[in-house]
Structure 1
Amino acid sequence: MKKLARSAASMVADARSRIEEVEVQDLIAAMDDPGVVIVDIRDVRERQRSGFIPGSVHAPRGMVEFWVDPESPYFKEVFGEDKKFVFHCASGWRSALTVATLQDMGFDAAHLREGFSEWVKQGGPVEMPEPKS
């Protein structure tokens, strides 16, 4: 097996050392703040299976950099708003890497430190998608 120059875990640790991390209870308290946008980067199947944070914006991990870049043909207007963006995934690894990359691009964002799984454990509200007919 080929040895990698860096492990995913070390990349996540590096990202976490330089980005803002938000705790679950702090994000629950900020849910009604119109200046905060919660961004879910999980796969659509994860959202269908586990639900999502009410009011969150879904931005699949593979498109985030393109959706936040105003020069990209894929730019989404929500990311042009003057708001605080808090990204999350299931456990905080993907969102840490995402936010570090966005920070490198000059986009200011934070991430939910322990992710959606901890959100659920701590009683954060969860909305389930409409069943497909």
Structure 2
Amino acid sequence: MTVKSIQTLVSEAMQEIKTINADDAHKMVEDNECNLIDIREARELEKTGSVENSVHISRGMLEIFLDPNSVYFQKGKLDQNKEMVLFCAGGVRSALAVKALKNMGYEKVSHIEGGFGAISQSKFKIV
């Protein structure tokens, strides 16, 4: 049995997914073209703060909450017609998460290169 390393999984995912930088993501948020989704764990947000205009869905709940029949869609928290832009702390979890969403059938999905680290050095406001 051969078990793939996290580096291999991320490398494979990166070949299949769309990656954008923090500035492009900020413009998409300003233009109301995306759902900005923070997939970090709650304790990470408590330590570093949240990104203004982002929706928090921890990585472990992502596929459940992004099921079109979920409460997130039913209560209007996410717009299924807009691109789903994901970020984590550094870009590893979000790369794998974008691949998972593509496997679910999402076509307009991307992640932010460098994650929260890059976001905190950009125009985004941390609250």
Pair 1:117–1:69, CA change in 2 (3 A): same
Structure 2 unaligned regions, length at least 5: none
TM-score by length of 1: 0.83
- SS of the aligned residue for 1:47 comes to helix
Structure 1 unaligned regions, length at least 5: 129-133
Distance 1:80 1:55 in 2: 13
- Deviation for aligned residue 1:29: 2.2
Give 1:11's aligned residue. Answer: 9
Pair 1:25–1:70, CA change in 2 (3 A): closer
C-alpha contact 2:89 2:117 (8 A) present in aligned 1: yes
- Residue deviations 1:42-95 (CA, integer Å, cap 9, x gap): 001111111121100000111000111135xx4421345311110000000000
Give 1:114's aligned residue. Answer: 114
Distance 1:68 1:79 in 2: 9
- SS of the aligned residue for 1:76 comes to helix
| Larger Rg belongs to | 1
Pair 1:27–1:70, CA change in 2 (3 A): closer
Identity among equivalent pairs (%):
31
C-alpha contact 1:66 1:75 (8 A) present in aligned 2: no
Deviating above 6 A after TM superposition, structure 1's stretches of 4 or more consecutive aligned residues are: none
- Deviation for aligned residue 1:4: 5.9
Superposed, 1:80-119 pairs within 5 Å as 81-108=80-107, 109-119=109-119
C-alpha contact 1:87 1:99 (8 A) present in aligned 2: yes
Distance 2:22 2:84 in 1: 14
Distance 1:30 1:80 in 2: 14
Distance 1:45 1:4 in 2: 33
TM-score by length of 2: 0.87
